[in-house]
Amino acid sequence: MTANTPAYESSVRRSVARWNHDAHNLLQVLREVQEDCGHVPPRALAMIARVLRLSYARVSGVASFYSFLATEPCGEYRILFSDNVTDRMQGSAALMDALCHRLWAEPGKVSEDGLVSVATTSCTGMCDQGPALLVNGRAIASLTAERVRRIGDLVLARTPLADWPAEFFQVQDNVRRADLLLGSEFVAGDAIRAALQRGTRGWSERAANERSWREAYVGAALGPVATLEEIKRSNLRGRGGAGFTTGIKWEACRHATGMSRYVVCNADEGEPGTFKDRVLLARHADLLFDGMTVAAYAVGAGQGFVYLRGEYRYLLESLEATLERRRREQLLGNGICGEAGFDFDIRIHVGAGSYVCGEESALIESLEGKRGVPRNRPPYPVTHGYRQQPTIVNNVETLCAAALVAIHGGDWYRGIGTLKSSGTKILAVSGDVARPGIYEYPFGVPVRQVLEDCGAAGTQAVQISGPSGFCIDPREFDRRIAFEDLPTAGAFTVFDATRDMFQVARNYAHFFAHESCGFCTPCRVGTSMLVAAMDKIDAGYGTQHDLEEMNRLNKVLLMSAHCGLGHTACNPILDTLQRFRPAYERKLRSLDFAPAFDLDESLARARQMTGRDDAGAHLENLP
Partner 1 sequence: MTGPDTFLLDGEEVPFQPGQSVLQAALAAGRYIPHLCYHPEFTSHGSCKVCTCKVNGRTVASCTTPAEGAIEVESETDELNELRRTLVQMLFAEGNHFCPSCERSGNCGLQALGYDLGVMTAGFRHLFPERPVDASHPELWLDFNRCILCELCVRASRDVDGKNVFSLGGRGLGKHLIVNAESGRLADTDAAVDDKAMSVCPVGVILRKREGFAVPIGRRRYDLSPVSAQALQDAPRVPEKR
Q: Which of 14, 43, 414, 579 binds partner 1 (CB under 8 A)?
A: 43
Decide: 424 and 316 in contact? Cβ < 8 Å.
no
Q: Which is nearer to partner 1, 133 or 529 (CB)?
A: 529
Q: Which of 7, 9, 42, 242 touches partner 1 (CB under 8 A)?
A: 42
Chain-centre distance for alpha carbon 254: 27
Span from 258-266, 279-287, 455-463, 560-568 in contact with partner 1 (CB under 8 A): 560-568
Under the criterion CB under 8 A, does residue 340 sit at the interface with partner 1? no
Contact between 56 and partner 1 (CB under 8 A)? yes
524 binds partner 1 (CB under 8 A): yes
**Cα–Cα distance, 106 to 492 (Å, whole number):** 33
174-193 residues labelled b (16+ CB within 10 A) or e (exposed): bbbbebbbbebebebbbbbb
Q: Verify binding: residue 516, partner 1, rule CB under 8 A.
A: yes
Q: How far is the CB of 545 from partner 1 (least distance, A)?
A: 11
> b vs e for 343-359, b when ≥16 Cβ sit within 10 Å of the residue's Cβ?
bbbbebbbbbbbbbbbb
Give the residue with the Cβ less far from partner 1, 55 or 498. Answer: 55
Judged by CB, which is closer to partner 1: 61, or 114? 61
Q: Which stretch binds partner 1 (CB under 8 A): 119-127, 321-329, 552-560, 606-614?
A: 552-560
Which of 92, 235, 354, 571: binder of partner 1 (CB under 8 A)? Answer: 354
Task: Tell the smallest beta-carbon distance from residue 55 to partner 1 (Å).
Answer: 4
| Strand residue runs (E) in 363-414 | 391-395
| Rg (alpha carbons) of the chain, rounded to whole number | 26
Least distance (Å) between residue 520 CB and partner 1: 5
Q: Does the footprint of partner 1 cover residue 528 (CB under 8 A)?
A: yes
| Three-class DSSP labels, 27-62 | HHHHHHHHHHHCCCCHHHHHHHHHHHCCCHHHHHHH
- Of 184, 201, 152, 204, the C-alpha closest to 423 is 184
CB of 562 to partner 1, least distance (A): 7
CB 220 to partner 1: min, Å: 37
Interface with partner 1 includes 555 (CB under 8 A)? yes
Minimum gap (Å) between residue 535 Cβ and partner 1: 11
Among 525, 574, 594, 617, binds partner 1 (CB under 8 A): 525
Q: Which of 65, 289, 305, 307 binds partner 1 (CB under 8 A)?
A: 65
Residues 6+ apart with CB under 8 A from 167: none
User: Which one of residues 38, 522, 542, 572 is an interface residue with partner 1 (CB under 8 A)?
Assistant: 522
> CB of 559: closest distance to partner 1 in angstroms?
5
560 touches partner 1 by CB under 8 A: yes
428 touches 481 (CB < 8 A): no
Strand order in the sheet with 262-267: 345-350, 303-308, 262-267, 391-395
Work out how close the CB of 208 gets to partner 1 at its nearest, in angstroms, rounded to a whole number.
21
Q: Using the rule CB under 8 A, is 515 a contact of partner 1?
A: yes
Instruction: Give the torsion through C-alpha atoms of 24, 25, 31, 33, to 10 deg.
Output: -110
Whether 493 contacts 276, CB under 8 Å: no
Please state, in angstroms and rounded to a whole number, the distance separating the CA atoms of residues 160 and 295.
42
Q: Which is nearer to partner 1, 261 or 370 (CB)?
A: 370
Interatomic CA distance for residues 304 and 328, integer angstroms: 17
Site string for partner 1, 458-497 (x = CB under 8 A): ----------------------------------------
Residue closer to partner 1, measured from CB, 268 or 277: 268
The stretch among 183-191, 257-265, 380-388, 555-563 that binds partner 1 (CB under 8 A) is: 555-563
Q: How many residues bind partner 1 (CB under 8 A)?
A: 41
Query: Does residue number 527 form part of the binding site for partner 1 (CB under 8 A)?
Result: yes
Among positions 180, 472, 532, 588, the unique one binding partner 1 when judged by CB under 8 A: 532
- Rounded to a whole number of angstroms, the minimum distance from the CB of residue 49 to partner 1 is 9
Residue 596 lies near partner 1 (rule: CB under 8 A): yes
DSSP bridge partners of 422 = 417
| String of contacts with partner 1 for each residue 365-384, x by CB under 8 A | ------x----x-x------
Dihedral (Cα; 433, 130, 64, 240), 10-degree rounding: -40
Instruction: Work out how close the CB of 445 gets to partner 1 at its nearest, in angstroms, rounded to a whole number.
Output: 33
* Residue closer to partner 1, measured from CB, 199 or 564: 564
Contact 140, 155 (CB under 8 A): no
Distance (Å) of CA 485 to CA 351, 444, 477: 32, 9, 12
Of 441, 225, 192, 221, which Cα lies nearest the Cα of 293? 192
Smallest CA-to-CA distance from 356 within 161, 545, 568, 210 is with: 568
Out of 64, 144, 551, 621, the residue judged to bind partner 1 by CB under 8 A: 64
CA dihedral sign, ordered 575, 578, 580, 586? positive
Q: How many Cα neighbours within 13 Å face the side chain of 362? A: 25
Distance CA 456, CA 448 (A): 10
Rounded least distance, CB 499 to partner 1, Å: 27
CB of 149 to partner 1, least distance (A): 34
**Nearest distance in Å: CB 65, partner 1:** 5
Binding-site member from 24, 61, 150, 418 for partner 1 (CB under 8 A): 61
Largest CA distance in the chain: 96
Q: Tell me the CA distances in angstroms from 529 to 371, 491, 500, 546, one per residue in order.
A: 24, 26, 21, 10
DSSP-derived letter for residue 13 is H
Q: Which residues of this protein are in contact with partner 1, per CB under 8 A?
A: 42-43, 45-46, 55-58, 60-61, 64-65, 354, 371, 376, 378, 513-522, 524-529, 532, 552, 555-556, 559-562, 596
